[in-house]
Structure 1
Amino acid sequence: MEAEGKMMNPIGCLFVRPVWLQRGGWAAAMRSRPSGGWGDGGARWRGAVRHWPRATAATTVRMSTARKGDSVEDSVREASEQQQQQEQQRRRGGRAWMDGASGEAASTPKNFEHRACEEAIYRWWEETGRFSPDALPEGVPHMDRRPFVIVMPPPNVTGGLHMGHAIGTTIEDILVRFQRMRGRPTLWLPGTDHAGIATQLLVERALREEGLQRTDLTREQFLERVWAWKQSKGGYITQQLRRLGASADWSRERFTLSAEMSTAVVEAFVRLHQQGLVYRGSYMVNWSPALQTAVSDLEVEFHDERGTLYYFKYPVADGAPDAFLPVATTRPETILGDTAVCVHPNDARYARFIGQQAVVPIVGRRIPVIADEYVDPEFGTGVLKITPAHDPNDYQIGKRHNLPALTVIGKDATMTTEEAGGRYFGLDRFECRQRLWKDMRAAGLVLKEEAHQTRVPRSQRGGEVIEPLISTQWFIRMKPLAERAIEAVRSGQIRILPERFEKIYYGWLEDVQDWCVSRQLWWGHRIPVYYVNGREDAWVVARSAEAAAQWARERYGADVRLEQDPDVLDTWFSSGLWPFSTMGWPDESATDYRRFFPGTVMETGYDILFFWVARMIMLSVALTDRVPFETVYLHGLVRDAAGRKMSKTLGNVIDPLEAIDQYGTDALRMALVTGCTPGQDIPLAMEKVEANRNFANKLWNVARYVLNAVPAAEVPAWRLAEVAQRAAELDGQRLPLPERFLWSRLNDTIAKVSAGLERFAFGDAGQRLYDFLWDDLADWYVEVSKVRLRATAGDAAAAAQRQQTQQTLLLVLDRFLRLVHPFMPFITEAIFQRLPFAELSHGSAALMQAPWPTPSGTVDSAAVRSFERFQQLVRAVRNARATHQVEPARKISATILLPAESAFREVLQAERAVLAALAKIDERALHIVTDRGDAPAADRCAHLIVDDELEAFLPMKGLIDHARERQRLQKQLQRLHGDLEVLHKRLSAPGFVQNAPPSVVQDAQARHRELQETLDSVARRLRQVESDAET
């Protein structure tokens, strides 16, 4: 709804409608939303309003023509004022989403409408260049001018936002916002990965819908299709990252298959080849029959599935007709490719067979019986069939014993063997399994079958069973690279956090295998290898076809024909260059390379420590002779509240966009990082997101209270810098106790949050923010301030205290907003823009560029202890009121007893009005005494022993409806008796204590004691009420 001449801004508050907009209407003010970002995921976002100049009474006058009679001086002065305002507007960037918020319009809205303002706030940040490393806080000392650099782990260009992205993006954004506010030139460089297999699959699926296969197109035609898809759909994930508040420098966005990245990839491959680290060979790989390519270990998922363990006889050659070795296998079809039978060398059952020969069932081929310590005598029969061509463990045994490798399953997962009369040739591997087993049963070779739980390797993309195959591929020798990568961490050049992952890192690299980097795909970086005249034994690695041709002509003569290898490089190869290729490498004179490489932090999930992090380190030291970053921080995986992996099968997936739509980005970010331990998995439920939405609401409500309590017109006259300095120094006794307590707690919070972010303890830092807002500011100081702000007009002392309270509220809110901002950027920016002095105080139009607060004063521990004692007294009185069922609005009388020499007596006298208000005591009936004889008789009061020298006496006569209280207590007693009886029967049941789990028994016993104590307490209270009623 609109008011005449006014409109609602995206935060939900009224502001003055600019004159031009009154004339032009809404149509001219609307902008189209970016595709794939706001507006998707279930919420229809309102288009953001274009930026417009602030419209005040003064600017409206200046918009008119010069008035008759104006002097030249007036005109010059007016022109100068207009120039100054335009310059101020340029710096502000035109905050259309909050214009009118700084005291020019209606009061702060009741609620923070995240749906209405997050897009507009983010767009304002981005369009005014605030994510650039050169966008630093203005006019403030910078703690550290060294750049702080994070390169964003590139999400797949095909991807949609999931909780893995959400936790990583949140942590990285917290770090960069924190360092940016500290004055460091901060670069968070974003980008996307071309995701070879995933992207190619999507386009092939689209082709099938047209009735086409990839092979129906030429390679060039297919790649044109993929690039067209990337152009139309590829920006979706980056728009979603914007919804998370990612303050990345999008002007530097990179793509792993761009021309610049391709140059880096080719150069890297050529240099590695020159170092003798690239070779072509035949080794075992993970083969995807559906994708028709080798895939990395990360693209293989192992599923626990119910299968069958097949037991059969392996005949012994030249022995008795019934002589055999019992063997068990889960894959009978691979029997056709067996080249040995293997037992443990210390297994006495089979020692006599070692060195003899066995006969392959059905096939009749003779193979040796060998011994190897790999065999587990306890599994199955203790005898293994060895198929080096189709099992990675058998492949290693085969290499140790020089066994031949017979390929019997092809790349299409059909049988290729001509043995056994060719009866199995062309069969699907699983069909062959059934037919071969049937034939073995007919031959009397089957012993038995039993159900067996087995781990089945399946393709992450297609879901089909992966086939281990020996294939000719391109490899990189990893041992030399791994040695340098290990030294980089051991020497302290790189630290890995949490430190426990260093052991895992070393373990992987010390046992590293050569890296298969070739993939049988079309979408990706084509391997820069050129074959000469169709010969696979004559090839050249070159930076271009021209360079390859020149080399070939020099070696083979002018008449040569070159053909580039059709395979592409593993996606992890290009992403392994990410920290330096994104900065302009191999041009080491590039500005970004010289300024921002090496980076500062690499933040990612612990699950890709080897697949990505270790490879980045290895490639960086090999190609640049420098480590790629100083620190690796590994976050855990986001799981459901029960600690289970989120999956569609379990139905426990939380969509981050749905959480954002329902509760806001700030709530999701805070939920992901609070209560978490570095490197540990993160349990998450929507209830946790909702709880953090409540935290955001609390912050908004506190800010709304402060802004309504502080008249904006008075602020400029307060000389806030002096006020802030005096408050930060705590100024001895000049500040009252509540203020000294609050500033001390704030200084402590600033120190702990800063230290927490420095050591990547995001959970600890977030919890401290939560505690300060709820426990210190909202629950206590805000309540204290309400008493102060009701000061009687005309009382100079009260008026001075009122102003001091207003100043404290405003200054503490300002500092707290800056502390919370890295965690909850949207709501804090929205509140900051409403502070009446924000830009003047910090020299920045945006909170994200305001200086990080520092604890400029020490913590007054004595003041903290004294106020905590005050809190203890208030809580004791409140608890007594609740116990005695005193009506909430009814004030009571109270006598406080403490020693005459106690310094706390002065505190109580000074804060008498606050104590009375917070504890609902009639201030006229509040007595502070030092002589026990002046206190009421304890047996006629609620007598509270607060601590070893502080007591309170609360006369309750006449405050309680005894009949109603007696009835309530009797009902409570009856219920407690019933609960106790049920629990007593359970504990007394035959065998319960002996047979139930100890933890269950202990819980039941503890609950029994708790119920008994509660019953005794209620019974005593009932006797007291009945006694009071009689008198």
Structure 2
Amino acid sequence: MTEQTPQSPLDKTFDPAAIEARWYAHWEANGLFRPERPDAQPFTIVNPPPNVTGSLHIGHALDNTLQDVVIRYERLRGKDALWVVGTDHAGIATQMVVERQMEAQQDKRTNYTRDGFIEKVWEWKRESGGTITGQLRRLGCSMDWSREQFTMDPHFTKAVVKVFVDLYNEGLIYRDKRLVNWDPKLKTAISDLEVETREIQGHFWHFKYPLTDGSGHISVATTRPETMLADMAVAVNPADERYQPLLARGATVTLPITGRVIPIVADEHADPELGSGAVKITPGHDFNDFEVGKRAGFKAADMLNMLDAEAKVCQTADNLIPPELLGLDRFEARKRVVELLDKDDLLEKIEDRVIQTPYGDRGGVVIEPWLTDQWYVDAATLAQPAIEAVKSGAIEIVPKTWEKTYFNWMENIQPWCVSRQLWWGHRIPAWFGPSIENPDELTIFVADDEVAASRQAAEYYGKAWQIGEGMTLSVVADQAAAKALESQESLMSSKADLEADFGQKIEDHEMPVPEPIKAFGIWQDADVLDTWFSSALWPFATLGWPDADAPLLAKHYPNDLLVSGFDILFFWNARMAMQGIHFMKEVPWKRMYLHGLVRAADGQKMSKSKGNVVDPLGLIDQYGADALRFFMAAMESQGRDVKMDEKRVEGYRNFATKLWNAARFCQANGITASTSVSAPAATSAVNRWIIGEVVETVAALDKAMADLRFDAAANAIYHFVWNQFCDWYIELIKGAFDEETKAVAGWVLDQILVMLHPFMPFVTEELWSKTGAREHELIVARWPAPAAAVDAGAKAEVEWLIALVGNLRAAKAELGIAPGARLTAYLPDPSETTRSLIAGNGPVIDRLARLDAIRFEPAPAGPAIQVGAGDAMLAIPLDGVIDIAAEKARLEKALAASLKERDSLGKRLENPAFVEKAKPDAVDKAKADHAHHAAEAERLTAALARLG
């Protein structure tokens, strides 16, 4: 219930800042974002959970505005509208933030145990992790904060663990040695989607690789000379006749520096047209080479690695890298390798070349393809039902144009690497122990917790396992752990390191055969899961899954709509589709709406380096949240990016002010809140007309919202409020405030507040509270149901009046006639309809058109302007009104200037050299200026024609 008096005087000026915080606090405190509606039809959306480290940026403002427009709209329609809100633990980002904070205090992560560091992260979250949630409140987001989620909450962790264990048991998660994108700064694997490709000025080095038999050499070229230290082959195309003799005799080359003898292999990866047609193959450090190596028969376990976790040179398994190169940074090693080859006269030439170079989007350093043991999801299997869901229509993608992109990625999806070498995150529920069959290898136990893993280990090791004489569990476990860590390229290599990292003691313990190994004989994987693995469960884990009796799960899954930027289509959306269908046996949402990016005014992508980033909170401070929200909705056109335009934001602040002033006008004239949802009875044409306009606007809004055309919805309510209601209806009813008109005007104002509320919640709620006694707040009001029809006769009559007044005012403006000047119009032989309209609207014509009279006779001879309305063309004499000659001269001069500019710009735009070579902004400006001057020339020509 509101606490407002039946009608509280509105302040003279509209001040957004004064009302926004007050109303948001009121809504949240009173549970109005999700009022109790147990029997109502559900409507559910989940927000893309922002990183807990995040601050509101302009993309968030767009994304969350669109979601809030939808959820407020559906709430007004009486639905049990649930907007799930929460934040993502953001493994890499959060660990980076906390480590930077520690560095500023001369501290570091490795000074703590794993548990100690994680407690530091939780401490940071408690103190600083709520920044973005407060900012979402400032934007007006009506989320269900009573159920705020966090991807590291205990119930969410339970869901994550279950998904991992179930997928593992189904064979859909597995451990494999493959190349990954390794970030040497963060010392973790990252996904392909987290890699940015930049164009870097680099080089193409051409080297001679000597043939082992001394018969010559083969030339290879590379952009990464340092990787030759781990070369395992040279590939040539099987169809390349130049190398047929070498292939035929099984020729090999002896690598410079290392002396490693490697084969020459046939593979179509080698392009005969590129360089010498021969390419060096380093399967442990290049994604293409990895595939060539597999085709050549190299097992992943046997592929050579020459870099450690910091991308410094380490010794390969064959111990052939010279000691002088060990420990060098990869780029120092590059320089040194080139020097050594040049010294031995093996450097043929160096070409300058622009290199497409991968960078980590967070670490900011060059990514290194690195061969490690990681956990993978069989994404190809999980993708199939998600593909079919879109094809069948179970999931509708809006705009539909994104379907092709979706299918292309999903149909060519690669195994999803889900392990990350971090401490903050969901630790992988897998434990290792030495294999019974081969103590040099590992056995994996995947379970919900350590107790369950220990039971698996007890069962496994309970089988007869002979330990060699004098061996203890400690020794076996230590050897196996060291082997595992070595295979993962970990820096830890001893039992002491293992104990420190995992926080548990590995005791010496004699194990009589066949006593089962105890729980301390296995150790948990140190890695955590990719953040996107847990956020993929967002649509159902937030509703209580895996608890089958969770009350929200049955009612609110599947969700109705997902709104997100297209840039996380594969990071998040596709993975939600895969996991949701797999575990819930239903799609996660029925529709997926993908919006564009918010770009700078010139169309460029916003970035801090360019200095063109716009702070949404600054815009809210200056213009109010309502203005920013309306801008976002009005500019969101399916399939297009939004160009930032602060002037338009300011314009929508003016729009709110105009509505405010219209409400003050109504209040000053005794117009109060309506007591009816349906339209009141009306007899006058103007009242019947405005009721019909409400009916049409509601229909337009409903259609636009059904089609997810936010721009169309915003424009429909904007034009109704600004044009029909403020500009015309209020003007038409001035001085005629009978009870019917007061009732209709009050009802129309109420409908405006309800229709506009999803876009501008603050100003509408404030006006709702102060324009009369209310049973409830606007946020939980009822969506308009006029129970009325468009009155065609009233619509025609009022539109005739609007045309007459509007055309006459435009003519006066064109000819420099004062707006208040009173004129006389002539209309010979009017139709009966026009005669009736004039007779029935005399006072309005007199007041708004400023016409002393409309005479049904020919106009006197002389200059006159022609003004049309309906089927009538009124003539208005100008003798004595303006200086005809002077006005003609002014118009002709202005026309000549506009024609000159129009033609000049036209010639420039017809010149291919200008259109092709000029900057796009310059071309766009020229087109806009040409259109402006062409329109101005038409207007001035028409004005001259009026003068005769």
When normalised by structure 1's length, the TM-score is 0.79
2:23 maps to which residue? 121
CA distance in 2, matches of 1:691, 1:1009: 26
CA contact (8 A) 1:498 1:679 kept: yes
Residue 444 of structure 1: how far off its partner (Å)? 2.8
Q: Which of 937, 960, 971 does residue 860 from structure 2 map onto? A: 937
Is the 2:233–2:264 Cα contact (8 Å) retained in structure 1? Answer: yes
- Alignment pair present for 1:887 and 2:818: yes
Cross-structure match for 2:357? 456
Of the structure 1 ranges 665-674 and 373-382, higher mean CA displacement relative to structure 2 is found in 373-382
What are the residue-to-residue correspondences of 1:499-538 with 2, within 5 Å? 499-532=400-433, 537-538=442-443
Amino acid at match of 2:752: F
The residue that corresponds to 1:337 in the other structure is: 230
Q: Alignment partner for residue 607 of structure 1, among 567, 576, 599?
A: 567
Instruction: Specify the alignment match of 2:306 in structure 1.
Output: 408
8 A Cα contact 1:675 1:764, kept in partner: no
- Cα deviation, 1:63-90, whole Å, max 9, x if unaligned, reads xxxxxxxxxxxxxxxxxxxxxxxxxxxx
Q: Deviations over 1:757-786 (max 9, x none)?
A: 122111111111111122211221121122
Cα distance, 1:377 vs structure 2? 5.4
Contact 2:636 2:711 in 1 (8 A): yes
The within-5 A match list for 1:594-633 is 594-633=554-593
Describe the shift of the 1:908–1:393 C-alpha distance in structure 2 as closer, same or farther (beyond 3 A): farther
Matches within 5 A, 1:466-865: 466-532=367-433, 537-556=442-461, 557-560=515-518, 561-712=521-672, 720-721=675-676, 724-727=679-682, 734-736=683-685, 738-789=686-737, 802-837=738-773, 839=774, 844-865=775-796
Tell me how far apart the structure 2 counterparts of residues 108 and 722 of structure 1 sit (CA, whole Å).
Answer: 24
Residue 642 of structure 1 deviates from its aligned partner by 2.2
Do the aligned partners of 1:750 and 1:819 also contact (CA within 8 Å) in 2?
yes
Distance 1:771 1:659 in 2: 23
Contact 1:345-1:351 at 8 Å conserved across structures: yes
Shift of 1:319: 7.2
One-letter code aligned to 2:859: P
Q: Is the 8 A contact 2:894 2:940 kept in 1?
A: no
Native 8 Å contact 2:694 2:748 kept in 1: yes
Q: Quick one: distance in 1 between partners of 2:945 and 2:389?
A: 70
Q: Displacement, 1:334?
A: 1.4
- Residue range with higher mean Cα deviation, 755-764 or 479-488: 479-488
The C-alpha deviation readout for 1:113-151, integer Å capped at 9, x for no partner, is 111110110000011111125259xxxxxxx93211112
Relative to structure 1, is the Cα distance of residues 161 and 381 closer, same or farther in structure 2, using a 3 angstrom cutoff?
Answer: farther
- Which segment is superposed worse, 699-708 or 190-199? 699-708
The alpha carbon displacement at 1:354 in A equals: 5.3
Aligned equivalents of 2:580, 2:776: Cα separation in 1: 39
SS at match of 1:183: coil
Counterpart CA distance in 1 for 2:927 and 2:420 is 59
Q: TM-score, normalised by structure 2?
A: 0.86
Q: Which 10-residue stretch deviates more, 389-398 or 369-378?
A: 369-378
Shift of 1:608: 1.4
**Native 8 Å contact 1:135 1:849 kept in 2:** no
User: What are the superposed Cα offsets for residues 894-914 of structure 1, whole Å, 9 maximum, x if unpaired?
Assistant: 1234534x3232122212221
Aligned partner of 2:880 in structure 1 is: 958
Contact 1:598 1:627 in 2 (8 A): yes
Asked if the contact 1:751/1:854 (under 8 Å) is kept, the reply is no
Say which SS state the counterpart of residue 423 (structure 1) adopts. Answer: helix
Matched, 1:245 2:203: no
Pairwise mapping of residues 1-400 of structure 1 onto structure 2 (< 5 A)? Answer: 91-92=1-2, 95=3, 99-100=4-5, 102-103=6-7, 105=8, 107-134=9-36, 145-316=40-211, 318=213, 320-321=215-216, 323-325=217-219, 327-345=220-238, 356-375=251-270, 382-400=277-295
Rounded Cα–Cα distance in structure 2 between residues aligned with 1:751 and 1:985: 46
Structure 2 vs 1, CA of residues 125 and 1010 (structure 1 numbering), >3 Å: closer, same or farther?
Answer: closer
1:664/1:693 contact within 8 Å kept: yes
Q: Cα deviation per residue 1:222-271 (whole Å; 9 max; x = unaligned)?
A: 11111111111112211111111111111111111111111111122111
Deviation at 1:212, TM superposition (A): 2.1
How many residue pairs are counted as aligned between the two chains? 874
- Which piece of structure 1 moves more, 535-544 or 253-262? 535-544
User: More relative contact order in 1 or in 2 (CA 8 Å, sep 6+)?
Assistant: 2
Mapped partners of 1:145, 1:501: distance in 2:
33
SS in 2 for 1:603: strand
Letter of the 1:405 counterpart: M
Offset of 1:995 from its aligned partner?
Answer: 5.2
C-alpha contact (below 8 Å) 2:905/2:930 kept by paired residues = no
1:1018 deviates by 7.5
Contact 1:309 1:449 in 2 (8 A): yes
Percentage identity across paired residues of the two chains: 40
Q: Which residue of 1 aligns with 2:509?
A: none
Q: Which amino acid aligns with 1:541?
A: V
Q: 1:693 to 1:379 in 2, by over 3 A?
A: farther
Secondary structure of the corresponding residue to residue 825 of structure 2: strand
Cα distance, 1:216 vs structure 2:
1.2
Superimposed CA distance per residue, residues 80-113 of structure 1 (whole angstroms, 9 cap, x where no aligned partner): xxxxxxxxxxx43xx4xxx44x32x5x3212221
**Residues 309 and 809 of structure 1, relative CA distance in 2, 3 Å threshold:** farther
2:698/2:784 contact within 8 Å kept: yes
Distance 1:152 1:1021, change over 3 A: closer
Distance 2:812 2:928 in 1: 31
Query: Which runs of 5 or more residues in structure 1 are unaligned?
Result: 1-90, 137-143, 728-733, 790-801, 1025-1031
Q: Which runs of 5+ in 2 are unaligned?
A: 462-514, 917-922
1:39 alignment counterpart? none
Q: Secondary structure at the match of 1:150?
A: strand
Aligned-pair CA distance for 1:197: 1.0
Amino acid at match of 2:334: R
| CA distance 1:835–1:373, shift in 2 (3 Å) | farther
Contact 1:147/1:186, CA 8 A, preserved across alignment: yes
